[in-house]
Amino acid sequence: MINPHASETLNPLFVCDPQSHSALAFEAQALPSIIVSSATAANAVMLGAGYFNPLTGYMTKADALSVAENMHTTSGLFWPTPVLNLVERAEEVEAGSRIALRDPNVEGNPVLAVMDVEAVESFSDQEMAMMTERVYGTSDPDHPGAATFNNQGKVTLSGPIQVLNFSYFQTDFPDTFRTAVEIRNQIQEHGWQKVVAFQTRNPMHRAHEELCKMAMEAVDADGCVIHMLLGKLKPGDIPAPVRDDSIRKMVELYFPPNSVMITGYGFDMLYAGPREGVLHAVFRQNMGATHFIIGRDHAGVGDYYGAFDAQTIFDQEVPENALEIEIFRADHTAYSKKLNKVVMMRDVQDHTKEDFVLLSGTRVREMLGQGIAPPAEFSRPEVAKVLIDYFQSIN
């Protein structure tokens, strides 16, 4: 099986021993505590679940700046995005202290993790601007990821953490949320050697379905892990439960039995385009996938990135051998009226735009909101019904 990133064994930070977990939870109630940002909480969940292996906690200021600048920590570990605990102020937190991190996304703000604070440091405006520009490729305050990053504060608390729970993800998505440890175990149970991972924050239409099948065939994969983001999105995106229902319906009806695992992970979308594409590859390697599909405008938003920037970054900025996982580079995929099947546009040079069934996201939403199913060549009718029911419920 493929090794986790930069180590031979996975290092999840969730405290799984019952006695140790109980003792830590008891201790946490007496510790000074802070309610962290949603982004910080999501980082804790990813650390706890093993997706951010081999990190042991939140990065120092020096590591964050180094990662933003050149995708390596000061010790040389390859890592594409800063993993921080940013706060607006921390007058009562000192280096050497032990604090409880409370969850902003669950009623009552339960303790999410316990942190040993090794340093309390501040970023300058110039340093925040540099990190924003390097990670998000823009300083535009309207970029949703850049805005979230800059609205948390400029004080960073660094140090190792021990994670006590997985926020709302395990309770709200019991059939879908899986840790990297659990996915690795499931892959082994299936006996899969080659595994394709597919990232989604949207429902999967016909082109996405066929893309997974194309990738599996191209690399001779034993199975596919559809891995959906379950955390915070930008306003207007379709909620995770609706995406989950539509994807399950598609897999049930249109994939061979036991060829697909439907899973999800607890992270807030960064919308960081190329850098986030690399981060996605890191945690797919940690969960045991050998191949990862990166298509058009992966992890993008608006017009901030080129259509295939999330692919070319692996050629231009990711050092050779930095990751073991292989990238499956996908082109825009659509139904060909000429060939009566879904194809990658790069493979059919004789086609014109009129030869494809193409619908904008805006047009699809309009149709669904009006109770109109998109053409069967674009979206499976059973999937469309799930989405129509949702859009009609909010209209």
Burial class (CB in 10 A: 0-12, 13-18, 19+), 165: buried
Question: Could you please report the per-residue DSSP string of 156-191?
Answer: EEEEEEEE---TTHHHH-TTTB--HHHHHHHHHHHT
Please give the C-alpha separations between residue 163 and each of 95, 316, 342, 386, in angstroms, as whole numbers: 20, 35, 44, 35
Q: Which of 202, 248, 329, 365 is catalytic?
A: 202
Q: Which of 201, 296, 329, 365 is catalytic?
A: 201
Assess contact for 88 and 106: CB atoms under 8 A.
no
**φ, ψ dihedrals at 115, nearest 5°:** -120, 135
User: Is 202 noted as a catalytic residue in this protein?
Assistant: yes
Residue 353, Ramachandran bin (φ over 0: left; ψ between -120 and 50: alpha; else beta): alpha
Lookup result for tokens 């994969």: 221
Cα 30 to Cα 170: distance, rounded to the nearest angstrom? 25
Cα 281 to Cα 293: distance, rounded to the nearest angstrom? 9
User: Is 165 noted as a catalytic residue in this protein?
Assistant: no
Strand partners, 214: none
Q: How many CB atoms lie within 10 A of CB 26?
A: 9
Q: Which of helix, strand or coil describes residue 303? A: coil
Cα 163 to Cα 9: distance, rounded to the nearest angstrom? 18
- Active-site residues: which are they? 201-202
